[in-house]
Structure 1
């Protein structure tokens, strides 16, 4: 199954991950106890009810060590499956498949865990109109994969990096001397919204300004903010903020959002809700590879 992510070097990721596990001597256990020409048929299955993510990466790991492996995809990324569901069937060289097993499982377990947690948040805010966003709170080196997993779970990607959007936060404001000079400096640098305000979304956010108090809203709007990040506001304050903004710019609630609080936050009328827990705290899914 072909797999491609913009800016992601799949071959380098596969090589580096396998090299970490194989070390200098390779799988010395399999080399000692399994004949070189032995064949293995195995099933990768989920022991949990999950939203799947990472199966094409698993295939890439197995194929890197056995180019002739036969891989049958029994599920696809983004599928919601029950506990006990078979995801992949593999037939190939036994030594190669066992050597790739841990790298493949680690990746699928991690990404599936993220996708599964993301889907729980998406389900809770269904019908409110709010859009779930991920954040940059990702493991170093895995951001593109983790953000891929949140998409499989139904979220929308926030900015991928510091060069992917202007976000003026409290430290920027403090150093710049206020919201107005901070926004003015960003605009003077040629940054900001590139199209009509109605089209401002996760891929074209313009200048986002963080506010954590009601009295900061009008100055931020007057300065030319294209979107307001309503940071660490409780539900009554969020409701007041949304009413004051009155649709003039999109709004994003952020900070300490949990599964038990997100629906109330969504019902305040905010446009977006960003949740760092999706990538920061998702537990790995229980997925195994068993002899068939």
Structure 2
């Protein structure tokens, strides 16, 4: 991520210290595959992005630890940043697939992966990324982490498949829309927060609270994102809007819906005792304007 990205992105600028550490870990992981033909495509696929999901994992770990990650032993720190890379890579893999499915030709101001490298290379690179994720998971030697990564991947695929069916039918209910984004988007937010708590050795109540936080925040995030872009995109949310006679009233209903999910996400953090600034940041993230 270059200096221009920071200047244009207050979110990235605010979390510069965290994101730099996440990017360093991700770069180390990618550099370990410098021997591969997938190396340059992998670097291109991972370029840019706000690193929201690994940021949530890192903040969740600090919230449970009630201290900076630097206070943990070296193995725990290594695992946290390694799995944060796996989370970002899983998101990257889904982005490659999504851009093909949605026929999106631009991503983060650059040609989408399939536009630059072609469809065959896109499929193979996504497979290669999955192999990297499996390798990271194996090195953590933590079955719960592996399970959460696997569960998120399965849910993301289920959400995408359901969306394809609903778009094809051009008919969707609000409940079906929520189900799609709960799987396609919120599942990785949930996994991020939950894994952070697991790696910081949280108790079950803390782990569940952060898992719920991530899921609810993910739903709010996607509704907010769809509200911002719905005039420019012909996708699931547009179909939902067009089914309603009173567009303005429905948009207001959906704005209230995402605000409600944001409030519920923030409430999940109330039961976690923590004086560290990381908890405050997680609370602040429930204000979706902070992502803009």
Q: 1 or 2, which has the higher strand percentage?
A: 1
Q: Which has the larger radius of gyration?
A: 1
Tell me the TM-score normalized by structure 1. 0.27
Q: 1 or 2, which has the higher helix percentage?
A: 2
